[in-house]
Structure 1
């Protein structure tokens, strides 16, 4: 997959994400943390966790169950982040779509339920963000998350 050559086309991304209205989700999200990553990856994830925004796409950050420094959520389970995941197999597929937002490359996958999964590439830790179809309306979501990733997870290739 060649993520490092595709600039974000905001109108295209907006059209892709403009699926439905935005409403608050549940007060808590069930998020399974990824398997325990290597110490260096866990350190990047801890830094990211501390730097994540309090709101994403107008949704407030909510607790995750179980509580973990590798996960975060906004609007209940509307937007869910997991840091330190193993390299997704689809990263090797040159046909996969990808975008760049604020210097961060993202693999873009539409999910069978109508939501989206975005996974960082070209970083020392892989971070996955899932957005349900009801809340995939704001391209600004990736802007705030990309800013936090760019500040806390160095560029490079994760060995995990």
Structure 2
């Protein structure tokens, strides 16, 4: 695995960069595709689900449909977490942007709609966090709220 370099970005710059697409169901509740990892990663993700905070960046937990221990959400529009996702191809790019928050490394990906997607690096399971464009004003606050749970439940290492 290539290790990409981390570019240090100031919070104001991150505030402009952070966002990700959050899909919604017809009734307005969030929705998210449920990953399908192997049994080992599934167990790590279940452990993560047990230690996730009730609030992230002041937003109450609002889990997406379909309900799964592999997905979680907060607020509306929802910050969405998916555990057990596939390794992003961008992790092979030595020029990829990354940020470290509370000893958890994250690959930063800007989407075409202006939103952003963060995926953990150097962990035994890949955890993805999408922040809707409307949540960019808080900088990395959502990652600050999630990093302790990731550190506790997903050991350092390289996912298969």
TM-score of the superposition, structure 2-length normalised? 0.85
Three-state SS of the structure 2 residue aligned to 1:87 is coil
State the partner residue of 1:149.
Answer: 150
State the partner residue of 1:38.
Answer: 38
Three-state SS of the structure 1 residue aligned to 2:108 is strand
User: 2-side partners of 1:128 and 1:95: how far apart?
Assistant: 20
State the partner residue of 1:72.
Answer: 72
State the partner residue of 2:119.
Answer: 119
Alignment of 1:6-17 (within 5 A): 6=6, 9=9, 12-17=10-15
Point out where structure 1 has 5 or more consecutive residues left out of the alignment. none
Number of equivalent positions: 151
Contact 1:116–1:136 under 8 Å retained in 2: no
State the partner residue of 1:53.
Answer: 53
Three-state SS of the structure 2 residue aligned to 1:99 is strand
Three-state SS of the structure 1 residue aligned to 2:99 is strand
How far apart are residue 60 of structure 1 and its match?
1.0
User: 2-side partners of 1:67 and 1:31: how far apart?
Assistant: 9
How far apart are residue 2 of structure 1 and its match?
2.8
TM-score of the superposition, structure 1-length normalised? 0.85
User: 1-side partners of 2:101 and 2:68: how far apart?
Assistant: 26
User: 2-side partners of 1:6 and 1:155: how far apart?
Assistant: 17
